Amino acid sequence: MSATFLPYGRQAIDESDIEAVAEVLRGDWLTTGPAVDAFDAAFAEAVGARHSVSCSNGTAALHLALAALGVKEGDTCVVPAITFMATANAARYCGAEVAFADVDPDTGLMTPETLDAALARAEGTARVVLPVHLAGQCGALDELAHAATLAGAVLVEDASHAAGSFYRGEPVGNGRYSAAATFSFHPVKTIAAGEGGAVTTNDDAVAARLRLLRSHGIERDPARHRRQEGEPWWHEMHALGWNYRLSDIHAALAHSQLKRLPAFIERRQALARAYDTALQDLPDTVRPLARTRACNPCLHLYPVRIDFEAAGRSRSAVMDRLRAHGIGTQVHYIPVNEQPYYQDRYGRQDLPGARRYYERTLSLPLFVGMADDDPQRVVDRLAQVLGL
């Protein structure tokens, strides 16, 4: 694949995926059918959680998780400044406020120290802490959970990047440190559903609430109806929910992809090692993402830290020249606290770790369809573009 354009990420679809979707298309259920339940059961087993509740996308997963936990107006959710804006937006959908935590400038992750500072700013209103597993890598979940508990809050892991990652030898999403974990199955993620998401939890009541809210708050179980009419069409709306269901078409694709997760993990880790090796020959002005000790990540992204000022090149110029060489890159992410909506709401905030991380980050291509020599090719071109 070295002669073709390398995007920063893309899906890996094979004939087994196509056949899985075709089987649904030949059947009776395109939505609200058995493929959804089958995927939910398989994903829960894969991450070691009691429940997995799938939904339409990763943003919906975040919203559902917070809503199922009862987050409301008057509450505060702590969110790292380096993330996709959906992490913060989900809190606002519930009427809660957002306290932005600074991050380690070399990992982009919330730390126990930056969490403590954000909790202090929340002044006792923190209800949920949302650590983001940026690029697929976890921070100190045990320490973050302890700090959240002391503040009267719970952890909800934004694991949108982290399907296939492990923390202290256990799968991310198993609920050891959190009330829930949310996942995304967007095409560039490790598992693709086209669009899709899931929430995992070990709490039976939270799982029941998730299932209720993802389908308009409608209850169809006669045993749970407040009114017994005896009509087979009877249903009751018990909460104000949303149409966040995953279709059987998307669930079939995600389930097929899940069966290949071990191979995806192995391939992504091999490509990441190839990048790590290739980058060793470059000066310290270009470094890979710093790694945390307790996490064995299946990287969704491969961010590097580049001192663009020292190289005398702007990031946009580097990206343009790499694209001319057939290499796509992206920036993950602009600090969310600097988005106009959040600046208008909370004013300007000084989060130097997030600013430093953002100024240097650039995501290089990483997807399972890359050739063995593609990481070296990318690093060679990057060095050339930077004049190294």
Whether residues 234 and 295 share a domain: the answer is no
- Whether 246 is in a domain gets the answer yes
pLDDT digits (tens, 9 = 90+) for 266-302: 999 999 999 999 999 999 999 999 999 999 999 999 9
Instruction: Supply the pLDDT for residue 1.
Output: 41
- Picking from 194, 225, 260, the residue at the C-terminal end of a domain is 260
pLDDT digits (tens, 9 = 90+) for 8-33: 999 999 999 999 999 999 999 999 99
- Whether 352 is in a domain gets the answer yes
Whether residues 28 and 148 share a domain: the answer is yes
The answer to whether 276 touches 288, Cβ cutoff 8 Å, is yes
Whether residues 45 and 192 share a domain: the answer is yes
Instruction: Supply the pLDDT for residue 235.
Output: 86
Whether residues 255 and 337 share a domain: the answer is no
Helices (H), 152-260: 204-213, 248-259
- Whether 8 is in a domain gets the answer no
Q: What is the CATH number of the domain that holds 21?
A: 3.40.640.10
Whether residues 111 and 253 share a domain: the answer is yes
Residues assigned a catalytic role:
189
Q: What is the CATH number of the domain that holds 314?
A: 3.90.1150.10
Whether residues 288 and 146 share a domain: the answer is no
Whether residues 68 and 163 share a domain: the answer is yes
- Whether 2 is in a domain gets the answer no
In this prediction, residues 299-328 reach a mean pLDDT of 97
Percent of the chain whose pLDDT exceeds 70: 98
pTM to 2 decimal places: 0.96
In this prediction, residues 39-54 reach a mean pLDDT of 98
Whether residues 248 and 277 share a domain: the answer is no
Q: How many domains does the chain have?
A: 2
Whether residues 218 and 294 share a domain: the answer is no
Least confident segment among 206-215, 229-238, 335-344: 229-238
Rg (CA), the chain: 21
Per-residue b or e along 314-339, where b marks 16 or more CB atoms closer than 10 Å to that residue's CB: ebeebbebbeeeebbbbebbebbbbe
Full residue range of the structural domain in which residue 360 is found: 262-386
Whether residues 61 and 141 share a domain: the answer is yes
- Whether 10 is in a domain gets the answer no
Vertex 345 angle, CA 342 and 347, to 5°: 80
- Picking from 200, 226, 260, the residue at the C-terminal end of a domain is 260
- Picking from 260, 289, 323, the residue at the C-terminal end of a domain is 260
The answer to whether 186 touches 150, Cβ cutoff 8 Å, is no
Residue 90 CA to its chain's centroid (Å): 13
Whether residues 62 and 195 share a domain: the answer is yes
Q: Is 38 exposed, middle or buried (0-12, 13-18, 19+ CB in 10 A)?
A: middle
- Whether 34 is in a domain gets the answer yes
In this prediction, residues 161-177 reach a mean pLDDT of 98
Mean pLDDT of the residues in the chain: 96
- Whether 3 is in a domain gets the answer no
Task: Give the residue carrying structure tokens 């380096």.
Answer: 82
Helices (H), 214-247: none
In this prediction, residues 182-209 reach a mean pLDDT of 97
Strand 361-364 and strand 197-201: pairing? unpaired
Whether residues 134 and 188 share a domain: the answer is yes
Instruction: Supply the pLDDT for residue 2.
Output: 46
